[in-house]
Structure 1
């Protein structure tokens, strides 16, 4: 008898540019969690309708900012812009290829 995994596969990958559906900012994914890793106190402060904790969450460096965000998958969409991401922390996380794509500096475990 086979068992069905409760974990969904992440839609976005490290190095992919994304856009927040509500706030419209652009960013680049630098890490992915299979489920929300923040504690309940942090989760309870979220003002949007409570996103599911058991779906993928993304660490995103925000374009034209020094900020990073932690966003549930349902709030993101792929960004098809060719414009580079301007965030001072990007070089700590990602390298850039000749064709403008971002790649992780180290392989995730």
Structure 2
């Protein structure tokens, strides 16, 4: 007989970490030249094993940390990125983001901060 609860979670609640960056936070990658705004957070890795294994082993992030979905951009393009917390730092440049998807997800408040549009709030 299989214990249904044994496979429900690989991490115990005490092992879960609180995300360092919230929705609307502007961040940049610690190594690669891109930045973006957080629109979703996974408490631990929640992508495919194939995606994870495609990352070179010497820079492959741990799975037991928050992972962030970003509306990301670099000098050439705009895209959605999935990035581990260990690879993100706050972006303090003050430069506006140009990602075309931002108005669909966020409103800009009077202080220039990104706030989820009410249609996207959980």
Q: Quote the residue 1:74 is aligned against.
A: 86
2:16 alignment partner, one of 7, 26, 33: 7
Query: What secondary structure, in the 3-state scheme, does the structure 1 residue paired with 2:15 have?
Result: coil
Distance 1:51 1:21 in 2: 12
Distance 1:4 1:33, change over 3 A: closer
Q: Quote the residue 2:9 is aligned against.
A: none
**TM-score relative to the length of structure 1:** 0.87
Shift of residue 4, structure 1, vs aligned partner:
6.2
Larger radius of gyration: 2
Relative contact order, higher structure (CA 8 A, sep 6+): 1
Distance 2:13 2:78 in 1: 40
Cα RMSD of the aligned pairs, angstroms, is 1.7
1:18 alignment partner, one of 27, 41, 56: 27
Query: What secondary structure, in the 3-state scheme, does the structure 1 residue paired with 2:78 have?
Result: coil
Residues 46-88 of structure 1: CA distance to partner in whole angstroms, max 9, x if unpaired?
1252211110000111235321110000000011122211101
Alignment of 1:81-96 (within 5 A): 81-96=93-108
Unaligned runs of 5+ in 1: none
Residues 1-60 of structure 1: CA distance to partner in whole angstroms, max 9, x if unpaired?
xx8611100000110111101013221111111011111111111125221111000011
